[in-house]
Each structure stands twice: as C-alpha cells, then as structure tokens.
Amino acid sequence: MIERVTEIQKQAEAEIAAASSSAALEELRVQYLGRKAELPQLLRDVAQLPPEQRGEAGRTANQARQTLEVMIETAAARFEADELSAALADDNVDITLPGSPAESCGHHHLLTATRREIEDVFCGLGYSVVEGPEVETVHYNFDALNHDPAHPARARSDTFYIEGGGEGSEQTLLRTHTSPMQIRIMEQTPPPIALIVPGRVFRRDSDATHTPQFHQIEGLLVDEGVTLADLKGTLLAFARAIFGADRELRLRPHFFPFTEPSVEVDVSCFMCEKGATSGGERCSLCKGTGWLEVLGSGMVDPNVFAAVSEHGYDPDTHQGFAFGLGIERIAMLKHGVPDLRFFYENDLRFLRQFG
C-alpha cells in the first residue's frame, strides 16, 4: 500500500506541476483528492490493515494527501493571480477622458487672492488686520489727516459726497483712501500699534488707468523710535515677498498731507535688468526705467498725532510710519493684467485664470 501511495504521489506531483490553468488544476484535485479518488480511498482502507501496519501506512497516505493539497493550493493561487492580472489588463479604459462628475474647484477673484497674499506678508511681520467703514466723514478722511482746507482731493470733482450727510467736518463721503482708519484705530488703541487696513475706496475718476472704485491696503506702525529706515526695511521685506527675493527698493521724496517726510516707493523691475530685457530691448513693464512705482508712504505727520494726542499719541515722543498701496496695481504688475476693467467685468474667462 505504501508503494501505491508513493506511486500516486509521484504521478500527481508531476501532473500538478505540468498543469496549465486553474481549471486543469481543479480536475487534478478531483482526480487525486476527490471523494472517489484512489488516495482518499486508500486512507479510508488503512483501518482494514493489520494494526502493526496501520501507523506507517496512515502517516504516509496522510502526508501524501497534505503535500498534494498544498501543491494544488499554491499552484491555484498562482493561476488566480495570473488570471486576475490578465483579466484586469483587458479591462482598460481611456484614461485621458476628463474626470467626472466635473465638479471643478472655483476661484478667488484676483483682487482677493492678491489682498490675501499681501495680508499674509504683513501678518507674518506681526501686523494685525482691521477694516473700517467705506462711508466716512470729512473729519476722518481729510481733516484729521492734515489735509489743507484747499487740498484738491476735497473737491466735488474728485470725491463722492453723500446726500443729506451732515455739514463741515461731519459731512459724509465715500472714503478716498483707507487712511481714515489710521485715526479711528489710534482713537481706540494706545501705542504701540502695527496694523494694516485692506478695503475698498472711491475716487471720482474713470479712464484707462482709473476706476471710480478700487482697493487699497493701508499700513500703520507707531511706537517710540520708529524711523524712516524701518519703513524702508519693512517695505523691502514686502516687495521681496511679493515680487521676488532679488528686488531692491528706491525711495523718492514726495508730498502727502499726512506724512512728513513723504516718499514714493519704487521696486526694481522684475521683468528686466535695469530697464533692458535679456534681448536688449526696452522693458515694456517699467518703460525702460528699471523701476516700478508701487506705493506711497512716509513718517506719520506730527499733526496727525496731534489729532489723536488725547489717546496717548504724543508727537514729541511717538513716531511711526504709514503706507498705502493699491491692490489693483500690485495685481496688474505681478500678473501682467493690462487693463483695470478686467477686474470689474467679472468675465469667467478672466476669473478662472487666477486664485
């Protein structure tokens, strides 16, 4: 019997090794291990043997059966994996078809994206962000900011006034800059302060380079011992964060009613080298000057502190700087937007390019 078992095992092993599909394997399983197969029958017959033979014969037959079972399982697993791979390889699709459902992500408006980018730069420098009213008074928009009574910006040709809105310094208007918040904040918060004011502003101007509404970010830092050099360093950090690490800054003296000294700030052009492109042509972005005018700023005028002196701002001890930049201008420069009108047309073909 043992010889027969060994013989069956050898034969079965050879046939299992030669099997070429899981179906053939299944046939072999039935043939050698099925209920009617010889090996299980031999195992059942062990009980008929004389007791002294049963031990060895039983062991041998059992081992043979287990060996064959493992061989078949192993081979079957291999066939299944191969057959699955083959089936999956056939089950292919055009992976270049677009995704579906087409729930594409939306977009922030470029002005929002730019505003947030700038806010984040100053937040990183420790500034807080505050917002203020767009309908303002003459007091906050002009008087407290040291605007001469004859300052041209006050003219009805330049500034929108609101009907039925008070007299004199209480007259209401649409703020022409974000600077009124300088006063409101200093009335509420004693020094030192470091903050920016993003917001919408209005001027009576409409042509290729002006829209009657636009957006600014005001900056104000007040403490003892703040210097013009600090302003330069702060704006240099800003310029490099927004326009690239190689940027340089140029301050040009200017006049603003609420700063003294006042400076216009130019950033070195990021499209060219000193006004000339790599091809040696005149740079169209900076018009060949090598500099881009980006904002106005200066040291807070002592008269502005005088307007809030009762709130702890003493012109003799406190100094500060303020700056105001146009979000549209930064966005146009950085993203090459050629015309202001794109910002307010809200054409989806424009909106989807940014943010």
Partner 1 sequence: MRVPIDWLSEYVEIELTPVELSERLAMTGTEVARVLHHGPLSADNFVVGKVLSAEQHPDADRLRVCSVDTGDSEPRTIVCGAPNVAAGQTVSVALPGAVMPDGTKLGEAKLRGIKSSGMILAEDELGIGGEHDGIMVLTDDLAAGTPLAGVFAVSSDVLEPELTPNRGDCGGLYGIARELHAATGAALSAPPWSDDPGASTLGSAPAGISVTVDDAALCPRFTARIFENVTVGRSPIWLKARLAAAGQRSISNVVDITNYVMLVSGHPLHAFDLDRIAGGELTVRAARDGEKLTTLDGEERTLDGDICLIADADGPTSLAGVMGGSRSEVSDQTTSVLLEVAVWDGANINRTSTRLGLRSEASSRFEKGLSPEGALEAQAMASALMLELTGATLVDGTLDVGGDGPAANVIRLRDARIISLLGTPIARERSQAILEALGFTVTAADDGLDVTVPHWRRDDVTREADLIEEVARINGLESLPATLPLNRTGRAGGLSHQQRLVRRAEDVLVGRGLCEIVGWSFADPQICDRLLLDDDHPLRALVVIENPMSSAQSVMRPSILPSLLDAAAYNMARGAEGCALFESGSVYRAGRGDDGMAASEHHGLGAIVTGPVREPSWADAQPPAARIETAHALVSSVLGALGVDWQVEDGELPFLHPGRTAMIRTAEGLLGWFGEVHPAVAASWEITQPIAALAIDIGRAAAQAPSHSIFTDLTSFPPLREDLAVIVPAAVTAASVVACVTAAGSPLVSRAEVFDVYSGEQVGEGRVSLALHVDYSAGDRTLSDEDVAPLREKIVAALKVELDGELRG
Footprint (CB under 8 A) of partner 1, residues 166-185: 166, 172, 174
The answer to whether 10 and 32 have CB atoms below 8 angstroms apart is: no
Smallest distance from partner 1 to CB 96, Å: 11
CA distances from 110 to 45, 146, 192 (A): 87, 34, 33
Among 87, 88, 150, 245, binds partner 1 (CB under 8 A): 150
Smallest distance from partner 1 to CB 88, Å: 20
Does an H or E element contain 300, and which? strand 291-300
The answer to whether 355 and 113 have CB atoms below 8 angstroms apart is: yes
Residue showing tokens 């307010």: 344
Kindly state the DSSP code that residue 170 receives in the 8-state scheme.
Answer: G
The closest of 296, 244, 294 to 271, measured between CA atoms, is 244
Question: Which tokens go with 31?
Answer: 């043939």
Among 10, 54, 59, 108, binds partner 1 (CB under 8 A): 108
Smallest distance from partner 1 to CB 231, Å: 8
Stretch that binds partner 1, among 9-17, 49-57, 246-254, 333-341 (CB under 8 A): 246-254
Stretch that binds partner 1, among 20-28, 31-39, 56-64, 106-114 (CB under 8 A): 106-114
Among 230, 241, 276, 311, binds partner 1 (CB under 8 A): 230
| 125 near partner 1, judged by CB under 8 A | yes
| 251 near partner 1, judged by CB under 8 A | yes
Q: How far is Cα 166 from Cα 164, in angstroms, rounded to an integer?
A: 6
Stretch that binds partner 1, among 11-19, 38-46, 57-65, 147-155 (CB under 8 A): 147-155
| 123 near partner 1, judged by CB under 8 A | yes
| 114 near partner 1, judged by CB under 8 A | no
Q: How far is Cα 309 from Cα 311, in angstroms, rounded to an integer?
A: 5
Stretch that binds partner 1, among 18-26, 54-62, 68-76, 128-136 (CB under 8 A): 128-136
H helix intervals, 263-335 = 302-307, 327-335
| 119 near partner 1, judged by CB under 8 A | yes
Among 1, 31, 260, 309, binds partner 1 (CB under 8 A): 260
Binding positions for partner 1, 187-216, rule CB under 8 A: 192-194, 200, 202, 204, 206, 212-213
User: Quick one: 194 or 292, whose CB is closer to partner 1?
Assistant: 194
Does an H or E element contain 173, and which? strand 172-174
The answer to whether 112 and 327 have CB atoms below 8 angstroms apart is: no
User: Quick one: 101 or 280, whose CB is closer to partner 1?
Assistant: 101
Smallest distance from partner 1 to CB 280, Å: 19
Q: How far is Cα 216 from Cα 146, in angstroms, rounded to an integer?
A: 20
User: Quick one: 202 or 313, whose CB is closer to partner 1?
Assistant: 202
The closest of 148, 126, 129, 123 to 138, measured between CA atoms, is 148
State the DSSP string of 218-265: EEEEEETT--HHHHHHHHHHHHHHHH-TT--EEEEEEEETTEEEEEEE
Kindly state the DSSP code that residue 101 receives in the 8-state scheme.
Answer: S
| 263 near partner 1, judged by CB under 8 A | yes
Stretch that binds partner 1, among 10-18, 52-60, 249-257, 268-276 (CB under 8 A): 249-257
Binding positions for partner 1, 22-81, rule CB under 8 A: none
